[in-house]
Amino acid sequence: MSTTESAKPSGSPKSQPFDPGDPLGIDDLLDPEDLAIRDTVRTWAADRVLPHIAEWYENGELPGIRDLARELGSLGALGMSLQGYGCAGASAVQYGLACLELEAADSGIRSLVSVQGSLAMYAIHRFGSEEQKQQWLPGMAAGETIGCFGLTEPDHGSDPAGMRTYAERDGDDWVLTGRKMWITNGSVAGVAVVWAQTDQAGGGSGIRGFVVPTDSPGFSAPEIRHKWSLRASVTSELVLDGVRLPADAVLPGATGLRGPLSCLSHARYGIVWGAMGAARASFEAALDYAKSREQFGRPIGGFQLTQAKLADMALELHKGILLAHHLGRRMDAGRIRPEQVSFGKLNNVREAIEICRTSRTILGANGISLEYPVMRHATNLESVLTYEGTVEMHQLVLGKALTGLDAFR
């Protein structure tokens, strides 16, 4: 035996089999608790979502959403990385792993969890009074109460500063008037966090957040139908027709756009992971198919052009997962910046949609069928590409950070 061979450490490459599911060995970054959480969520999704998702998607519905929310609550997946008030207090990495597994089933399920935990609960947890937290968070963590988050309006999406929904003082009360659009969970929510202008006369932004029980007179949430994306997700309009709220309905800790934008940053972080779940599911479907589908007398996975697609997809999938881990560790260390979340959201959603589209080509005609998940994931990701900041908004965030020049207007 040569000197070099005898010096080989026990973990030599030969003792480490190549794992096509984890080619870079990223799982080494996870501890046993992380792995247990990931497996629990993966098993739940395999049992409760995957057998039904094609039918839900085709029908454009999420039946049993309240049962699903309670089950997700029992798993600790709602407000998962928040502390106290019945929340699981998990790490950012653990929350990310859950998002990835949920979105590998369907982006609609991950959206339910993101909006509940990272938008509605996060807003109350970070900016709410102690009474608001006590009143709402335990029921939301348990999935007994579903929450929604109303920022976007029919005429104000990427530029919410100009929102028209307003809240006026009437004695001690607040009275809310306006419309919100494209609101996930809206029609099934028991509580809505609604953002509104408060100083119409003063001309400033004066945006404040309000905790609105959805049984308040004047509140309604008609569902938006005929979507070709996120079909297994409830999306709604919010109509606020003189909704009267007590003085303590306002979130005391949030003034201006900083409030909703910090909630969005938290939710975007989950998307950085989630998008890689949709990509992984599509890639796995394509890889399986490539190994079994034969044309010209051999499996299509044996053709160099198919292998090039698979190799390139694997690169982007696992680079994206590494990026998500990196951002998760920064978030856990309290060192993440919004521009870094933009970096992750822009890259991972864009790459995920490309992986779904390329996977679709490997499946040929079968790729357009709901028998396989790839087209469903690809169309879902069209929404994910737009919500929580469009591609262009994140390019502008990064462009501004790189150049110091603001190109938003």
Ligand X SMILES: Cc1cc2nc3c(=O)[nH]c(=O)nc-3n(C[C@H](O)[C@H](O)[C@H](O)COP(=O)(O)OP(=O)(O)OC[C@H]3O[C@@H](n4cnc5c(N)ncnc54)[C@H](O)[C@@H]3O)c2cc1C
Q: What's the first-to-final CA gap in the chain, in angstroms? A: 69
Residue from 91, 118, 145, 235 binding ligand X (CB under 6 A)? 235
User: Would you state the structure tokens that stand for residue 346, as one six-digit string?
Assistant: 């822009």
Q: Judged by CB under 6 A, does residue 115 bind ligand X?
A: yes
Residue from 151, 212, 290, 346 binding ligand X (CB under 6 A)? 151
Question: Which of 361, 383, 360 is CA-nearest to residue 370?
Answer: 360
Which neighbouring-strand residues pair with 177?
166, 241
How many residues of this chain interact with ligand X, rule: CB under 6 A?
19
Nearer to ligand X, 14 or 409 (CB): 409
Residue from 74, 83, 134, 158 binding ligand X (CB under 6 A)? 158
The secondary structure element, H or E, covering residue 298 is strand 298-299
* Distance of alpha carbon 60 from alpha carbon 234, whole angstroms: 9
Q: Judged by CB under 6 A, does residue 122 bind ligand X?
A: no
Binding mask 236-265 toward ligand X (x if CB under 6 A, else -) reads ------------------------------
Q: Judged by CB under 6 A, does residue 182 bind ligand X?
A: yes
Give the SS3 label for residue 169. Answer: strand
Q: Helix, strand, coil % (nearest 5) of the chain?
A: 55, 15, 30
Q: What are phi and psi of 145, to 5 degrees?
A: -120, 130
- Find the shortest distance in angstroms from Cβ 120 to ligand X: 9
* Distance of alpha carbon 378 from alpha carbon 270, whole angstroms: 18
User: Would you state the structure tokens that stand for residue 43, as one six-digit string?
Assistant: 């098993």
Which neighbouring-strand residues pair with 390?
none
Give the interface segment with ligand X, choosing from 132-140, 177-185, 201-209, 277-285 (CB under 6 A).
Answer: 177-185
Q: Judged by CB under 6 A, does residue 31 bind ligand X?
A: no
Q: Does 388 participate in catalysis according to the annotation?
A: yes
Give the interface segment with ligand X, choosing from 81-89, 139-147, 340-348, 386-394 (CB under 6 A).
Answer: 386-394
Q: Judged by CB under 6 A, does residue 76 bind ligand X?
A: no
- In the complex, which residues of this chain contact ligand X (CB under 6 A)? 115, 149-152, 157-158, 182-184, 230, 235, 383, 386-387, 390, 392-393, 408
